[in-house]
Amino acid sequence: MKLAKSLQNIKPSYIREILSAANSQGIISLAGGLPDQASFPLSLMQDSLSNLTNHPSLFQYGSTAGYAPLLEYFKQHYQLPSSHEGLVCTGSQQGLDLIARAFINPNDKIVMEAPSYLGAIQVFGLAQAKIESVSQQADGPNLQELEACFAQGGITLFYAVPDFHNPTGVCWSLAVRQKVAQLCQQYDVTLIEDVPYRELRFSGEEIPLVSNFCPDHSLVLRSFSKIATPGIRLGLVTGRADWITPLNTVKQAADLHSSIPMQAVLLDLLQHKEFPDHLERLRKLYRERCQTLIDNITHQLPSYCRINKVEGGMFLWLLLPDCNIDALAKAALTSGVAVVPSSVFYQETNCTTSALRLNFTNANEEELAEAVQRLAKVIKEHC
Amino acid sequence: MKLAKSLQNIKPSYIREILSAANSQGIISLAGGLPDQASFPLSLMQDSLSNLTNHPSLFQYGSTAGYAPLLEYFKQHYQLPSSHEGLVCTGSQQGLDLIARAFINPNDKIVMEAPSYLGAIQVFGLAQAKIESVSQQADGPNLQELEACFAQGGITLFYAVPDFHNPTGVCWSLAVRQKVAQLCQQYDVTLIEDVPYRELRFSGEEIPLVSNFCPDHSLVLRSFSKIATPGIRLGLVTGRADWITPLNTVKQAADLHSSIPMQAVLLDLLQHKEFPDHLERLRKLYRERCQTLIDNITHQLPSYCRINKVEGGMFLWLLLPDCNIDALAKAALTSGVAVVPSSVFYQETNCTTSALRLNFTNANEEELAEAVQRLAKVIKEHC
């Protein structure tokens, strides 16, 4: 069989490829977006898992929208307006894919920040969307570029990660959030607000969702991979009921529904009285690891290496002088440290920034120090 | 946002709609395709579930293709040729959706039996395929029609459920299997062989997969919803490695991977020493229920009601004289029995058969008897 046209320009994820290499013995990986496995709240999930078989109905076919008590919890917890609904997905990745399938025709124009989350670039590539890029600044997207983009018309949606962006770690300021919401309303563009790292803020103050300022012009994607565990594959889309309904229709065809036993375990976990302590410990651990990575970068890398300030999430964005960033990342792997080059996070040909995405949640402090030491040697040779 | 064109002709599944109604108090449902909940092998899954937390890596991000030990088990168990691979999916429904996304362009021609599985009609509708129908006979598809269809050229794939077909219960004869395989090879058409009910044979002798006779012209979809439990949402696609690779690429974008803890539990279950006994008990139960339904139909329904002989699966196909089958199904629901009218299983406008799909796996013997009694009254009024 010939590949469908939609697939002919899609390459397998470089990150998932590098992750296999990164598993080789002796390699320290700052490449993936893996949460710390030793911190998974498994002890808080033990009773739920052991008790699942007391509830045979959890193992029967379920509703496409999700396990009803979990959906009810989400409605309360996220204080959804009565006109909004939720849909439980097989990871927030599926939520994004359902949105693209329900609302994007080939050649429709959509807007993303540059750089942007690779998984989103893949989804929109499969949907054959025309991606317009808006450059990112320290406090969010460049608003002049964004408005110019919206003003040309015909934009279906704007996909963004406003909290501790992947790959840059940028968190949008309150002023930027309000302005983006206003622009979405003014130009009738739907914001797809992807917030997988929102609960991982370890300094600074919480800022409202962008969607708070334009609830009927947005869909929110939430992930439970970072605060619960990734392996259970659960995410959530919320928004206007008339936009959730078509997502439900696509999901019926896509997989009928997501694992119900996993949804029941997630509900118990989120309601567990020790869950807030787990989150607190996780934020503390990631703050410390982030600081370790920053300290090592400051002391071991040449002063021309710069990093964005981050207040949460899982990534530092290490800006380098102009260089062949792919060759540098490859050399780093040979030297025993896996990192992701900036080129991966841009649409083809428009990467003008030499940078590396460094994950700080999955390696311990000794590994982080050793990784930077290995990196230092490679950077000095390449820049 | 406007709906994508691909979605504008898709209606939500009538069956999933009727299933909600069928849950109302006092309704006996023969409408769904639900396995018997009381027979779920939960006791065989208990230890696995309780021990999951001893293996934190099961809760981390995993490989898109699936949990490696499970894939290894499948390769052995299904004796895959070395040039073939497997891909674990979120239910076999997802496998079908991935195939459609990887290989079908809008307006591509594909072939299905008529009637056919509703979930497949939905998937191919979303893919905007042109569906050509081949009528079904007691031993499989009409081979003259099928060859005429293939011979016109430009057919991408032929989707079929050769074992205990949904909705008709038909099982293809060996001769038909061999001929279909030969036609697929001759006309270079890929067979999508969907076998969710294959292990539910309760009489007659096992017949090889059609794919056995054309392994490099087919992809096989397997479901663990009927022999394990549906709620865990696990299925499998197998076939040539060069066809599995693009499915893997689409799955990366679609949901990264399926739940790993559920895959680990499924592996333990499939390898459990008591699993063969569970299957044996399940087949016995379904054979008895099927016989109960047949006996009640024979004794209580008018002689113009006919049923196909079935040797397994979950459904009987009750053929009625020409009538308004949708009105009849609606009246049945009002009279306290939920059934699915034949119109649902055909492409629009080409349903020429008045029939009802009756599920016999989810109601007990008393309920089956009572359901037929209620149905008798409605049929006599409508036919």
Over the stretch A272-325, which tens digit does the pLDDT of each residue have? 999 999 999 999 999 999 999 999 999 999 999 999 889 999 999 999 999 999
* Dist CA B236 CA B258 (whole Å): 11
* Per-residue confidence band for B13, with pLDDT thresholds at 50, 70 and 90: low
Residue A70, both tokens = 């979990």
Asked if residues B355 and B166 have their Cβ atoms less than 8 Å apart, the reply is no
Report the C-alpha gap between A47 and A221 in whole angstroms.
Answer: 28
Contact A158, A191 (CB under 8 A): yes
Q: Which of B225, B173, B216 is nearest to B195 (CA)?
A: B225
Query: How many CB atoms sit inside 10 A of residue A365's CB?
Result: 15
Strands B315-319 and B306-307: antiparallel
Distance from CA of B379 to the nearest CA of A (A): 29
3-state DSSP assignment of residue B80: coil
Distance, CA of A264 to CA of B37 (rounded, Å): 17
Peptide bond connecting A276 to the previous residue in cis, omega within 30 degrees of 0: no
Task: Identify the residue whose tokens are 């006979």.
Answer: B137
Residues of A in contact with B126 (CB under 8 A): 101, 250, 253
pLDDT score for A8:
83
Minimal Cβ distance to A61: which of B42, B61, B231: B231
Chain A residues with CB inside 8 Å of B57's CB? 37
Q: CATH 3.40.640.10: does it fit domain B51-271?
A: yes
Q: Lowest mean pLDDT: which of A302-306, B7-11, B57-61, B197-201?
A: B7-11
DSSP B353: -
Residue B301 is encoded by which pair of tokens?
């329904």
Q: Is B188 on the interface with A (CB under 8 A)?
A: no
Measured over the CA atoms of residue B117, residue B121, residue B127 and residue B129, the dihedral's sign is positive
Q: Indicate the CATH number of B5-40+276-382 among 3.40.50.11540, 3.50.50.60, 3.30.930.10, 3.90.1150.10.
A: 3.90.1150.10
Chain B residue numbers touching A93 (CB-CB < 8 A): 253-256
Q: Domain coordinates of chain B in residue numbers?
A: 5-40+276-382, 51-271
The residues facing A53 across adjacent strands are none
Bridge partners (DSSP) listed for residue A366: none
Give A55-271's CATH code, choosing from 3.40.640.10, 3.30.70.360, 3.40.50.2000, 3.40.50.300.
3.40.640.10
Residue in B43, B61, B94 nearest the CB of A230: B61
Spatial distance between the Cα atoms of A213 and A180, rounded to a whole number of angstroms: 9
The token pair that represents A137 in the structure block:
């600044």
Could you tell me the two tokens for B260? 């790993």
CB nearest A62 (choices: B61, B231, B254) = B231
- CA–CA separation, B166 and B184 (whole Å): 22
**Residue A260 in contact with residue B237, Cβ under 8 Å?**
no
What value of ipTM does the predicted structure carry? 0.96
Cβ-contact A10, A122 below 8 angstroms:
yes
Residue of B18, B227, B249, B262 to mutate, testing the A interface (most A Cβ within 10 Å of its Cβ)? B249
User: Apex CA A181: angle with CA A318 and CA B1, to 5°?
Assistant: 105
Amino acid at B288: E
Residue A49: half-sphere exposure toward Cβ, Cα within 13 Å: 20
Q: Which residues of chain A have pLDDT under 50?
A: none
Under 8 Å between Cβ of A100 and A126: yes
Query: Which residues 271-300 of chain B have a CB within 8 Å of chain A?
Result: none
Model confidence at B331, pLDDT cuts 50, 70, 90, reads very high
The pair phi, psi for residue A49, each rounded to 5°, is -60, -45
Tokens at residue B293, please? 């339904």
Residue type for position A261: P
CB contact A184 to B (< 8 Å): no
Contact B4 A56 (CB under 8 A): no
| DSSP output for B204-234 | S-----GGGG-GGGEEEEEESTTTT-GGG--
Strand order in the sheet with B355-359: B306-307, B315-319, B355-359, B340-341
Backbone angles phi, psi at A221, to 5 degrees: -105, 125
The first and second tokens of residue B232, run together, are: 């865990």
- What's the confidence (pLDDT) of residue B9? 74
Q: Is A157 on the interface with B (CB under 8 A)?
A: yes
Q: Which 3 state secondary structure label does DSSP give A52?
A: helix
CB atoms within 10 A of CB A276: 9
Exposure of A376 in the CB half-sphere (CA atoms within 13 A): 15
Calpha distance A110→A124 (Å, rounded): 8
Q: What is the DSSP secondary-structure string of A171-219?
A: ---HHHHHHHHHHHHHHT-EEEEE-TTGGGB-SS-----GGGG-GGGEE
Q: Which residue type does B289 have?
A: R
Check CB contact of A241 with chain B, cutoff 8 Å.
no
CA–CA distances in Å: residue B68 to residues A93, B232, B251? 22, 18, 16
Reply yes or no on whether the pLDDT at B378 is more than 70: yes
- Read off the DSSP letter of residue B27: P
Question: Are A226 and A35 a contacting pair, CB within 8 Å?
Answer: yes
Mean pLDDT in chain B?
95
Rounded to whole angstroms, the Cα distance separating B289 from B236 reads 28
Give the model's pLDDT for residue A309: 86
Amino acid identity of residue B173, one-letter, is S
CB B171 within 8 A of CB B311: yes
Torsion from C-alpha of B189, B191, B192, B196, nearest 10 degrees: 170
pLDDT at position B383: 85
Q: Report which residue type is found at A117.
A: Y
Of B62, B88, B60, B61, which is closest to residue B74 (Cα–Cα)? B88
Angle between helices A91-103 and B241-255 (to 10 degrees): 90
Q: How many other C-beta atoms are found inside a 10 Å radius of the C-beta of residue B39?
A: 15
- Nearest by CB: B102 against A4, A42, A256: A4
Q: What confidence score (pLDDT) does residue A347 get?
A: 79
| Bridge partners for B140 per DSSP | B137
**pLDDT at B18 > cutoff 90:** no
Work out the burial of residue B334: count CB atoms within 10 Å of its CB; fewer than 13 is exposed, 13-18 middle, 19 or more buried: exposed
Tokens standing for residue A198: 């929102």
Q: Return d(Cα B172, Cα B177) in angstroms, integer.
A: 6
Q: How far is CA A195 from CA A64, A162, A261, B83, B136, in A?
A: 22, 7, 24, 41, 49
Encode pLDDT of B241-283 as tens digits: 999 999 999 999 999 999 999 999 999 999 999 999 999 999 9
Facing residue for A252 by CB, picked from B16, B156, B231: B16
Task: Pick the closest to residue B62 from B258, B270, B264, B262 (CA basis).
Answer: B258
CB of A103 less than 8 A from some CB of B: yes
